[in-house]
Amino acid sequence: MADTSLYQNQSKIEERLKWAKQRAKESLDMYAYSTILEGLYKLAREKAPEILTKLEELVERTGVFTFDIQLLSTIRDYIRDYVPLQNTIIDGRS
Q: 45-90 pLDDT, tens per residue?
A: 999 999 999 999 988 887 766 678 888 899 999 999 999 887 544 4
Residue 2 domain flag? no
Per-residue burial over 14-42, b = 16 or more CB atoms within 10 Å of its CB, e = otherwise? eebbeebbeebeeeeebebbbbbbbbbbe
pLDDT value of position 76: 93
The answer to whether residue 68 is domain-embedded is yes
Q: Is residue 30 part of a domain?
A: yes
User: Is 31 inside a domain boundary?
Assistant: yes
pLDDT confidence tier of residue 91, bands split at 50, 70 and 90: very low
Q: Is 71 among the domain residues?
A: yes
- Mean pLDDT score of the chain: 80
- Cβ atoms < 10 Å from Cβ of 56: 20
Q: What is the pLDDT of residue 49?
A: 92
Residue 74 domain boundaries: 25-82
